[in-house]
Amino acid sequence: MNTPLLRSSGLSIRDTPFADVEIAPDSGLTLLSTGRESQSSSFSLVLSGRMRASTGTIELNGESIKATKLAKHVALAGIPEIDSLERLVTVRTVVREQLAWSSPWYLMVPRDISDSGRWVDVEKHLGLNLNPKTLIGDLSVLERFKLRIALALLARPEAQLLVVDDPDQVRSMELRAEVLHALKGVAEDLPVVVVSTNPDFDSLADTALTITGAGN
């Protein structure tokens, strides 16, 4: 039997229980429906190691792991308190800043972000084609959300998993479907977990589960 990439067991947050989850290394795109936005974000934070659960454990590659160590292996996007963007800065500014934070000190960050192989690769995977001089506030809702995902991937170049919270915040089922379609492309190379208040209406995910107990 193959060892799951990630397994959660007996998780609860503030007396709210969550169903156990297993994510395989080749799982592609997984959508977990919680039915309540506050619980959606809490579960995303726990699953990515940014928050400790009240009870339960998480295993990475078959070994129990603490939240602080788990966070180093999981990229996270979609939590405004963590990844919201200033509207009056440019795309180039936020991308270069993230590249600088996540690169070894001895590597220079190119002034032209199109010269960064990491950025070009992430942008391609997400179907982005952004003008580096564009202000964040001038991007569309979809472009801003995709950019937050791109920055999360840049922040964790060695990530084994990407967790994306609340794609419903783009406020349109059509745009939500576009987000999931873009993540489907990312999931060809990196397992992706989407935690959402709504189910997989368009059947885009490789696996879709309702997390029983969430929201009770």
* Structure token digits, residue 164: 């994306």
In a 13 Å sphere around the CA of 172, the CA atoms on its Cβ side amount to 8
Q: Is 93 a member of any domain?
A: yes
Average pLDDT, the chain: 91
Mean pLDDT of 194-215: 83
Domain membership of residue 61 (yes or no) is yes
**String of DSSP letters for 57-89:** EEEETTEE--HHHHTTTEEEE--HHHH---TTS
Task: Give the rounded percent of residues in the chain with a pLDDT score beyond 70.
Answer: 96
Residue 214 has what pLDDT?
Answer: 42
What's the pLDDT band for 211 if we cut at 50, 70, 90? confident
Q: For residue 157, what are the CA distances in angstroms to 72, 104, 145, 161?
A: 10, 11, 19, 11
Four-CA torsion 83, 85, 86, 90, nearest 10 degrees: 130
CATH classification at residue 173: 3.40.50.300
38 falls within a domain:
yes
| Entry field: residues in the chain | 216
- Give the pLDDT of residue 215: 41
Mean pLDDT of 149-160: 96
pLDDT value at residue 4: 93
* Angle at alpha carbon of residue 98, lines to 97 and 102, rounded to 5°: 120
Asked, for residue 1, whether it belongs to a domain, the answer is: no
Q: What is the pLDDT of residue 1?
A: 59
Name residues whose C-beta falls within 8 Å of residue 12's C-beta, 6 or more positions apart in sequence: 18, 53, 54, 55, 56
Query: Whole-model pTM?
Result: 0.93
pLDDT at 101 > cutoff 60: yes
* Dmax (CA) of the chain: 51
Q: Is 215 left (phi over 0), alpha (psi -120 to 50) or beta?
A: left
Residue 142 lies in a domain: yes
pLDDT at 15 over 90: no
- CA atoms of 139 and 58, how far apart (whole Å): 37
216 in any annotated domain? no
Q: Confirm whether 39 is domain-assigned.
A: yes
pLDDT tens for 107-137 read: 788 888 988 889 999 999 999 999 999 999 9
Q: Provide the domain count of the chain.
A: 1
**Domain boundaries, position 32:** 6-210
Is 27 part of a structural domain of the chain? yes
Sequence-ordered alpha helix ranges (H) in 103-166? 117-125, 141-155
- pLDDT tens track for 27-84: 999 999 987 656 778 899 999 999 999 999 999 999 999 999 999 999 999 999 999 9
